[in-house]
Structure 1
């Protein structure tokens, strides 16, 4: 059910937009001089206007420029995701207004229904002024209705495109060279075809490349139909909010594997009862029942079992819906009538498929042979179907166990590893915009504070902002991670300076034009040594020059998903979002209440939010929700496998009760009886291990490939997983065989 919700939700994205069959997103194929290629979902900001003004086939075009500037309302500061759009946005997309008018004029904005309630409560927001960023005021002109479905575009408010230059002065000229600036969408006229747009973009690519030729880069624009954006089937940089097809396939395979185990289990247990049902089949056939009557009966039984399972699955889904991972996944599924119809139809089909093999096998028994007790249910060239299914079940479970253990160990590794900076005794506090100096002054007098620093982003998370740097103003650029930090941040975080000096205090404009770079940046910028790089000028995004004040040792500024790439640190006071306070040992217990008192004096209307850095890193990388969810799936897979094995053991021991009685009478010990009966099942478990371990090893290695820094998959990890499976299997087998071995021989042999 969870897998079906996930898959259907991905295909429901952007189905509510008008004329979606004539609407397209423009992709940018970025080609660098060094041979690198990047296919981006984004495109240059001027592209939308250029297409509409110069090509008649384009009916409407719009650009979507995203921003995450803090919003101030009556001295209350709130986080928000802004999307800057023009008039055509409201015509291309199906986002409708609940009240008011679109934000077309400069310094106007439209809020989503959720944002309006978050910002203004029950009050009508239209006509009120909100401040985005430092000091730019926007008048609220409307409120959007709740969208008719999910979309790859997510935002809290829509603002007018003409206001971008007020917040981002570097965007005032709308540079063509920045392929990551915005997202461009066009809607063609009814008479224009997809091929016409493709030819238009080829011409535009040639014209744009003549403009950006000095940068050493070139663009090739491509198209993506609006109704084909989700699920994302091609790998793109700068994607929006659409689900990705590879992730969807993995999730679907997990769900299918779980169902397949249950499918095998039903077939296994049904055939295990074939002795009991065989005489029934024989008598029915003697009484005149035809084969189709028996098939219909057995299929009815399996469908009923599937329907009961569906009801139980629904109850289980309600029980686990409180898990964050499950809650995010379910969303509004309860209101989706079509989805529930799919569930019911899928349940019936599952029952029919699961019951088909037992129905065919059981209905094919010949009455004469059945009533004499001469029949078997072995298929596949003499190999017992039930044994085959048991091996598949446990092999699949072992793959799940190995994958879960690898995922857990990789998560623990990322959560506890040495990132190359100080994480103990650091308290991170969310800062309002442009408030560092005032806050630092207030906090510096609080007892227990050793140092106060600030940063634009937390280290060890997403890797900061992305910028392009180069040594010469004209030449090839390289991508670098960008952080704005205070000079004290380098010392507080234990970042090692290996050449030059620390950042100067940015008390003037010149003070903020110095930068620190890491060893990887030194190498990528073709400096021979860190000392050679010191004092040199580098360019940021082709427009701003910085003098290299010093070089720092490489460290993991991002998560272990990414390798250590070029890094640049600058001192820009207006970009600080988080204050990092170094706390003296012994003061951890009292520091937060003391800081909160100091905070309330300067920000009486602002919430105080503080977290220990070590805990933030641990929680970020341990993936507790995902681990719990995958663990739940693995537990279910193991339970199904063990129940299947238990059913087969019960069936076998029941048929061998007289044999056990004779062995006991002849002097066999309990241990010998257990070993004799269990030998066959232990062999099946060992075969499962031989099949499942290599597959689990391969799947685990493939999973780890996404991480630049990962754990080794060693023998002990695989051995521990296999041992756990064997232990559960042995307990399942041992308990039932032990009970059978203790049976009084007089009871089992009294009819002989």
Structure 2
């Protein structure tokens, strides 16, 4: 029976090749999008789900508020972990670890040239409790005591093979690994890395106790200060099965208050601890993930699902429209089948089998297209996503379910309509009844409107996102961003003469206009802040104040406007206590006129500092974040905030290579001064553009979704136009014989469909406006939602529709009427 269904279906496809092609293309586009989006969403939502008792594992994070400025930190004070072990209840496991960031690694190999590895990420300090919480397979060493002693390290198999490529795992034990030239460790364990999706990508685990004894990093492990929070200090806990997260969180905050009681001057300022489920870390946009680890956005993933659903719906709408439009052509077939004894259920199965076959072909095409799409969106798609049917059983299940779902959505209603015709009526008139025609026409119109609502929504969203990105990249941010190069010298050379040597050598490069040395540029991803107080005689104002460390040339390199007072001078050393503040901070202190702030004293880390200048506000981060109070001051005496060169280049001639020559000179001098370190530089405006990478990806995705939705909608429109002109062939012939012009006939055939597009525009405009406003709320500074976005969307869709319709309507209008009227 099923064999017969498919044979009949294939015959029908051959008779109606164009409609079959349109249906397969429309469905394959929607299914391809759904398949790729499934791979992305499934990939991100499976992160760190595999850990034993993962529902009881939490990261402890810190929230704080200073003078209304709210902040969040993924780390905690290092004093918390030992206190939990002695004072807390309801906690089964406490596992602190410390992120070591990028380090240089040296592996002695017994020869004159040791193996060296630069800027290795994935190095952390941990103890034996870490491996009790996150269970790895051990290939060498003992989990219980591998990290109990100072100066020991556990390696993953992948990293161990990099360090000791010729040794067996057991023979690696006892070997030495040196970090940043001074921290010498002994290998005590080899473990298998996680093969599942995880954000825990560390591969070098140095014993935690090493950090409290090694002179090089001992200061970072200071546990006496409960008020200090460090994002590198991470703490994970595992609750007892009977413990409540809310109760434990309350207990933690009580401990924090006990050990760090609020002072009278801290009134209005708060600090608290929060439990973050381990499953939330991969999607965290507030506290941040781990160094170098990508975080996903649930909003983006849900948006992808909506796009996939829309594209699938568009394909299904095309199928329903074209199938019901063809109903009259199959009415006689249905009547004969029913007369010969076919039951309605059998006819429904016949039509569903046809739909299933078309969907199956579309799925096959989609599987072939998926790898191509993944390559097209390589910048957007996370690494590690592949299409391998044989190795991904979940993907096979998804495709089967998707095939059944699309077959049901596309075929069920047409099957009901077609199978419901009465044999007497259709055989007498060789067509469906007028009521059926009317019902089907209204359905087709409704579905066509839905198609163009979706397509125009995508157009409007794409235009707005592009407008916001353009606004962000071209807005006056309060500083110059073009033709400025940033070069940071290595940490290990900060307190040496090499930095001065490098600076003296590059001064002679003719392409340099001006140069400054200090900390981070005006706008960057890093944040350095401290708590500052100001007493105006009546009250004390305590504020979390961001800091930019700079010399006297910093303001001139970035063209930051000085509103009052003076610039920094070479004589303004740290001891002099002179600082510049921005206008936002001046207003927080109560000064409406910037000049009134000059000479005022601030309580600054236990010392007094004098305000010598006020600069105009500038953005310290992207437009997502508001401008915050900030101070510009000389770098600290230890020079940790004095390692970045800010180099303003002279204007480049049209088609010139002056900047390229300057960069080559920088690199040549770098190799002379720092032969062991790689030369890296950044153009400042490129770093600003990176703030909006997510928006640029969204714009790229919306552009593709818009193009596909327009293409699918126009395919459906073309199919309907072909059907309409075919049905009205004789009417067109009569009108031409009676004197109707080509333009009049084209207008006649197009008017109804054009009005459907206009109706779709009216319906989608308020929906799109609301959605745009919600998306724009994520920006502290944003562009306006201009009227031309809607006008361009509606006009563009109308032009595309007219262009699509013209192929068929003009062809029908210029056809010889003799051919259509010959049989009359």
**One fold, TM greater than 0.5?**
yes
Alpha-carbon shift at residue 144 of structure 1 (Å): 4.8
More deviation, 603-612/689-698 = 603-612
Task: Note if contact 1:518-1:551 (Cα within 8 Å) is conserved in structure 2.
Answer: yes
Alpha-carbon shift at residue 656 of structure 1 (Å): 0.5
Q: Map 1:49-60 onto structure 2 (within 5 A).
A: 49-55=82-88, 57-60=90-93
Alpha-carbon shift at residue 8 of structure 1 (Å): 1.9
**For 1:589-616, what per-residue CA distance to the aligned partner results, in whole angstroms no more than 9, with x for missing partners?**
4212222222222233433333433344
- Aligned position for 1:561: 624
For 1:119 and 1:544, locate their aligned partners in 2 and report how far apart those are by CA, in whole Å. Answer: 48
Task: Note if contact 2:469-2:696 (Cα within 8 Å) is conserved in structure 1.
Answer: no
- Aligned position for 2:399: 343
Q: Map 1:324-473 onto structure 2 (within 5 A).
A: 324-328=378-382, 331-332=385-386, 334=388, 335-371=391-427, 372=429, 373-375=431-433, 384-433=442-491, 434=494, 436-462=499-525, 464-471=526-533
Q: Map 1:126-137 onto structure 2 (within 5 A).
A: 127-132=175-180, 136=183
2:585 to 496, 521, 524: 521
Task: Note if contact 1:164-1:172 (Cα within 8 Å) is conserved in structure 2.
Answer: no
For 1:33 and 1:428, locate their aligned partners in 2 and report how far apart those are by CA, in whole Å. Answer: 31
Task: Note if contact 1:176-1:212 (Cα within 8 Å) is conserved in structure 2.
Answer: no
Structure 2 SS opposite 1:606: coil
Structure 2 SS opposite 1:707: coil
Alpha-carbon shift at residue 436 of structure 1 (Å): 3.8
Gaps of 5+ in 2: 1-34, 107-114, 653-657
Q: Is 1:727 the equivalent of 2:792?
A: no
For 2:644 and 2:68, locate their aligned partners in 1 and report how far apart those are by CA, in whole Å. Answer: 38
Alpha-carbon shift at residue 440 of structure 1 (Å): 1.4
More deviation, 371-380/520-529 = 371-380
> How many residue pairs align between the two structures?
742
Structure 2 SS opposite 1:711: coil
For 1:153 and 1:419, locate their aligned partners in 2 and report how far apart those are by CA, in whole Å. Answer: 36
- Aligned position for 1:585: 651
Alpha-carbon shift at residue 148 of structure 1 (Å): 2.9
Alpha-carbon shift at residue 751 of structure 1 (Å): 1.2
Structure 1 pair 424–475 and aligned structure 2 pair: CA distance change class (3 A): same
- Aligned position for 2:30: none
Structure 1 SS opposite 2:329: helix
Question: Under a length normalisation based on structure 2, what TM-score does the superposition of the two structures give?
Answer: 0.82
Gaps of 5+ in 1: none
For 2:560 and 2:150, locate their aligned partners in 1 and report how far apart those are by CA, in whole Å. Answer: 44
- Aligned position for 2:354: 301
- Aligned position for 2:554: 489
**For 1:180-235, what per-residue CA distance to the aligned partner results, in whole angstroms no more than 9, with x for missing partners?**
6444322245xx5123x643543442242132312444455554444566666xx8
- Aligned position for 1:85: 126
1:609 to 670, 675, 680: 680
For 1:314 and 1:253, locate their aligned partners in 2 and report how far apart those are by CA, in whole Å. Answer: 20
- Aligned position for 2:341: 288
Structure 2 SS opposite 1:194: coil
Task: Note if contact 1:44-1:177 (Cα within 8 Å) is conserved in structure 2.
Answer: yes
Q: Map 1:49-198 onto structure 2 (within 5 A).
A: 49-55=82-88, 57-71=90-104, 73=106, 77-78=118-119, 80=121, 82-97=123-138, 102-110=146-154, 127-132=175-180, 136=183, 141-142=188-189, 144-155=191-202, 157-164=204-211, 166-167=216-217, 169=219, 171-178=221-228, 181=231, 182-189=233-240, 192-195=241-244, 198=246
Structure 1 pair 290–741 and aligned structure 2 pair: CA distance change class (3 A): same
Task: Note if contact 2:565-2:614 (Cα within 8 Å) is conserved in structure 1.
Answer: yes
For 2:799 and 2:730, locate their aligned partners in 1 and report how far apart those are by CA, in whole Å. Answer: 28
Task: Note if contact 2:282-2:295 (Cα within 8 Å) is conserved in structure 1.
Answer: yes
CA-atom RMSD in angstroms? 3.4
Structure 2 SS opposite 1:8: helix
Alpha-carbon shift at residue 727 of structure 1 (Å): 0.8
For 2:210 and 2:67, locate their aligned partners in 1 and report how far apart those are by CA, in whole Å. Answer: 36
Alpha-carbon shift at residue 273 of structure 1 (Å): 1.7
Task: Note if contact 2:193-2:203 (Cα within 8 Å) is conserved in structure 1.
Answer: no
For 1:506 and 1:381, locate their aligned partners in 2 and report how far apart those are by CA, in whole Å. Answer: 86
- Aligned position for 1:678: 750
For 1:638 and 1:669, locate their aligned partners in 2 and report how far apart those are by CA, in whole Å. Answer: 30
Q: Is 1:598 the equivalent of 2:695?
A: no
- Aligned position for 1:550: 613
Alpha-carbon shift at residue 56 of structure 1 (Å): 5.4
1:44 to 77, 89, 95: 77
Task: Note if contact 1:16-1:94 (Cα within 8 Å) is conserved in structure 2.
Answer: no
- Aligned position for 1:478: 543
For 1:635 and 1:292, locate their aligned partners in 2 and report how far apart those are by CA, in whole Å. Answer: 39
Structure 1 pair 475–467 and aligned structure 2 pair: CA distance change class (3 A): farther
Structure 2 SS opposite 1:297: helix
More deviation, 387-396/417-426 = 417-426
Question: Under a length normalisation based on structure 1, what TM-score does the superposition of the two structures give?
Answer: 0.89
Task: Note if contact 2:517-2:643 (Cα within 8 Å) is conserved in structure 1.
Answer: yes
Alpha-carbon shift at residue 95 of structure 1 (Å): 4.4
Structure 1 pair 664–405 and aligned structure 2 pair: CA distance change class (3 A): same
